[in-house]
Amino acid sequence: MHLTGLSAFPITPADAEGRVDGPALRRLVARLCEGGVDSIGLLGSTGSYPYLTREERRRALEAALDEAAGRVPVMAGIGALRTDEALRLAQDARAAGAAAGLLAAVSYTPLTDDEVFAHVATVAQESGLPLCLYDNPSTTHFRFGPELIGRLSRVPGIVAVKSPGQEPQAVAGHLAALRAAVPPGFSLGYSGDWTATEALIAGAEAWYSVVAGMFPEAAVAIVRAVRRGDVAEARRLDARLEPLWALFRQYSSLRVMYACADLLGLTQSVPPRPILPLGDEARGRVAEVIRALELDEA
């Protein structure tokens, strides 16, 4: 499994009790398959993985994999506080047919590098599922440094890292530090949609995208422009989406994507409590932006 290109991260529609809405999730997955994404990142942070039970994660996986039907590989979030629970989730994902697992260093007690190394290496070695490291310090309060990523990149089965978005002036240096630490073929990718275009231009192999989980065509167009070397067009397409990026920064991409899904009639699910859906004023702004960008016609 070599993660490259555009990986789309959809929400996981569920009811107030956390029961996954399979038909709604299938609609989202079908939208992504038809939109031309390179992979689907199911049960990421946008997919609310920490809020779902093991059983509901399995139900989400089964629905998504059945809908994708091999057209697009699916990577499943397997993060958990305990190593044994993350291992069970990885085993579930492998048994269901996921192509890879996305493993964050979820913590309550702050973790050391050695603890995270043992945690991730155990899951990789005992599950047999290819893993992407999930560096998401804003939620886990743990940061994967280049030295730790380098150590983990040499563990069989650990194939990629999903790094948080970097400021444009910092991304080239961040990439260089990671490249110096990892072996050839280890995939370096970024999240943070409003910074991802510059990361791709700088040479990142993958964009782990929230916007692609709802509006795949908009993100696919940027990736294709970078691939053909049309940097000016990639930047133009990115700049056009700035009103949406502004909403992400103000309200969080998770809340905005739930509002978009509702406005588009794809699902009436709301974020898992205690997260509250956007109020009427904010929803109105989201509606205005997706209408002005013609994303409601996608």
Catalytic residue among 49, 51, 108, 134: 134
Identify the bridge partners of residue 131 per DSSP, sorted by sequence position. Answer: 101, 158
To the query of whether residue 162 is one of the catalytic residues in this protein, the response is yes
Please check whether residue 86 is in contact with residue 69, taking contact to mean a CB–CB distance below 8 angstroms.
no
DSSP code of residue 296: G
Catalytic residue among 49, 162, 190, 208: 162
Number of residues assigned to the chain:
298
**Tokens representing residue 76 in the block:** 């499943």
CB-count exposure of residue 229 (10 Å: 0-12, 13-18, 19+): exposed
To the query of whether residue 134 is one of the catalytic residues in this protein, the response is yes
Distances (CA, A) of 259 to 22, 85, 264: 19, 32, 9
Contacts of 69 by beta carbon, 8 Å cutoff, 6+ apart: none
Catalytic residues: 134, 162
